[in-house]
Amino acid sequence: MRGCTDYMSHRSYRRVAGLLQVLEVRNVRGMSTTTWHTIREASIISGLPESTLRYYEQIGIIDPIARDPSSGHRAYTDEDIQALVTVSCLSATGMPLDAMREYLQNRFDGPEGARRQMELLDAQALRLAAKAESIRMQQAYVSFKTLYWRAVAEGHDDEAQRLLDENRDIVERVKRIAAK
């Protein structure tokens, strides 16, 4: 899950890669106040394609992104980047878009927000457990069918029939998975 590490660890990567252009807004004294990142940088750091960044902004997964006044291009803050890294990680787990949106909204809501975060993550853990069980059933089915066809190929009809009889439950479970 590239991009799921702490965002701050990417700062040295950005310097070494030499790919990124960091825009800095300076106050009247010439001191840097905010570091801005281009959409390309945001994409590289988060691991999400630029089109996905635009889409997530359009559907409200992430807050609206500021624009560079001179070009009109998106200008991402460090906070925006951190939100994108979080979304990238959640997306990698297969979390639904609505749950990702809610997750980002809950981040700053104290203990109540933390409780809602746990509920969202618990629900995602259940989805992943169901998916893992589905994959286990699919693997069992493939293993059974391999043994079955080996028995058929070797002329062991009794063994093939025994395998069919013993594995009817696997066949039924895989059929239910396919129907979902």
3-state secondary structure the chain: CCCCCCHHHHHHHHHHHCCCCEEEEECCCCCEEEEEECHHHHHHHHCCCHHHHHHHHHCCCCCCCCECCCCCCECECHHHHHHHHHHHHHHHCCCCHHHHHHHHHHCCCHHHHHHHHHHHHHHHHHHHHHHHHHHHHHHHHHHHHHHHHHHHHCCCHHHHHHHHHHCHHHHHHHHHHHHC
CATH 1.10.1660.10 fits 7-108, yes or no: yes
What pTM, to 2 d.p., does this model score? 0.72
107 or 21, higher pLDDT: 107
* Span 30-47, average pLDDT: 84
Q: Where are the domains of the chain?
A: 7-108, 129-179
Residue 51: which pLDDT band, with cuts at 50, 70 and 90?
very high
pLDDT at 9: 42
62 or 167, higher pLDDT: 62
